[in-house]
Amino acid sequence: MKIVIAPDSFKESLAAHQVATCIERGFSDVFPCAEFVKMPLADGGEGTVDVLLTALNGNKQLLKTTDALGRECTAYWASLEQQLEGKSVKTALVELALASGLDQLSVDERAPLIASSFGTGLLIKDALDSGVEQIIIGLGGSATNDAGAGIFQALGGRLLDKQGNELSGGGAALSQLANIDLAGLHSRCKEVALVVACDVSNPLCGDNGASAVFGPQKGASPAEVVELDAALGHFADVAQVHTNVDHRNLAGFGAAGGTPLGLSIAFNVQLKAGIEVVLDALDADKVLEGASLVVTGEGQMDNQTLQGKTPFGIAQRAHKQNIPTIAIAGSLGKDVDALYETMSSLFGTVRSPQTLPQVLEEAEGNLIRTARNVAATLKLGQQM
């Protein structure tokens, strides 16, 4: 019996590879002779680079860069050779959260009006300088709401006010934008393929846009949400002169504080669902061949899981091969009924009412125990 274990991370407690190991431990107690194939996953957010780096034997490229508030930090991008249409392509994996992420800031430090993606731009510049032919960037977990303006500036583009002065960093400053200067933009931007892996379909502006939906979790007050939404809309209006595209309402352009907008001015971008990018890179369909069961999961499963998250993505791939899928989550939220269309069973691991610190501390033990109970139930079913 072949069992493919393909979970995402349990945020703030276990990385995806740790989750996979815990599930394997629980299942192997009951099915010691089974063939277990671990395939840790991510959906474009935090952990995406590490998942692909490990699976595809890439190399970390460390770089001194800056965080979302402009403070010096060390982050990395990953380099690897990827086979595309029978050709070896030098690829860079960049994760916005590593330099410009919310997890790099304390709650009190969250400042979406001035937070900048400039540090991520320096990672991309380093990758371009190294001669990569393709860049895959994961957008989840950002602390920024600057529509990728900082990335654009780090790559040599200039954002100017009416007096011809360079704008300061952050989303609020974009309200003063009068002109976009591409003269100093990195010469290789238009030479490389840029794949944007994102896990949301929100537009740039409006009630369902970047600022309104994701601004509050980055520290934006209701008044700041309105200010940022107007600033990003203005940026889109000025950018339209260069791109001939109105990006305000395009699906996915609200990801990571609108980052795809700044990227689209510098590059010819392809927006793809993050989980699909990861599954394709790992050749997941081939990994699934011959499997009797897929076990997946993430920290919390709810109606958002249907919006391109890891468990739903791998379950769809398994469903196409008539392979049943079981999901084990840290907790189950509301509105999970629709998940049963692609998953046979859903399980939460929390053993009793607990505080969040207790849940995080006991995550490993709870997960192993739940996985064992699931496996034991499956074995009992075989005997009945």
Cβ proximity of 61 and 79 under 8 Å: yes
Q: How many CA atoms lie within 13 A of 27 on its CB side?
A: 24
Q: Which two tokens stand for residue 209?
A: 């846009």
Residue in the structure block whose two tokens are 């990018």: 277
C-alpha to C-alpha distance for 255 and 43, rounded to whole angstroms: 13
Write down the pLDDT at residue 151. 98
Q: Report the predicted TM-score, pTM, of the whole model to 2 decimal places.
A: 0.87
Q: Domain-by-domain residue ranges, the chain?
A: 2-38+302-383, 48-275
Residue 300 CA from chain centroid, whole number:
15
Residue in the structure block whose two tokens are 């840790």: 40
pLDDT at 27 over 80: yes
CB-count burial class (<10 Å; 0-12, 13-18, 19+) for 25: middle
Identity at 212, one-letter amino acid code: A
| N-terminal to C-terminal alpha carbon distance within the chain | 18
pLDDT at 352 over 80: no
Q: Mean of the pLDDT values across residues 152-170? A: 97
- When mean pLDDT is compared across 105-109, 114-118, 350-354, the lowest value belongs to 350-354
pLDDT at 148 over 70: yes
- CA dihedral 84→197→367→19, nearest 10 degrees, is 40
**Sign of torsion over alpha carbons 175, 179, 183, 189:** positive
Write down the pLDDT at residue 138. 93
Query: What's the CATH number of domain 2-38+302-383, 3.40.640.10, 3.40.50.10350, 2.130.10.30, 3.40.630.30?
Result: 3.40.50.10350
C-alpha to C-alpha distance for 184 and 169, rounded to whole angstroms: 18
pLDDT at 260 over 80: yes
How does residue 353 score in pLDDT terms, banded at 50, 70 and 90?
A: low
How does residue 384 score in pLDDT terms, banded at 50, 70 and 90?
A: low
C-alpha to C-alpha distance for 45 and 158, rounded to whole angstroms: 28
Q: How does pLDDT run across 61-102, given as a tens digit for each residue?
A: 999 999 999 999 999 999 998 777 778 889 999 999 999 999
**Packing angle, helices 363-383 and 16-30, rounded to 10:** 40
Distances (CA, A) of 273 to 49, 91, 256, 341: 15, 18, 13, 20
Q: Which two tokens stand for residue 82?
A: 């990827």
Write down the pLDDT at residue 300. 85
Instruction: Tell whether domain 48-275 is in CATH 3.30.1950.10.
Output: no
Which parts of the chain are beta strand (E)?
Answer: 2-5, 35-38, 59-66, 72-84, 87-95, 134-138, 158-160, 179-181, 193-198, 269-273, 293-296, 300-301, 325-329, 331-332, 345-348
Write out the H or E segment, with its range, that includes residue 227: helix 222-243
Q: Which residues contact 193 (CB under 8 A, 6 or more apart)?
A: 133, 134, 135, 268, 270
Which DSSP state fits 341? G
Cβ proximity of 46 and 11 under 8 Å: yes
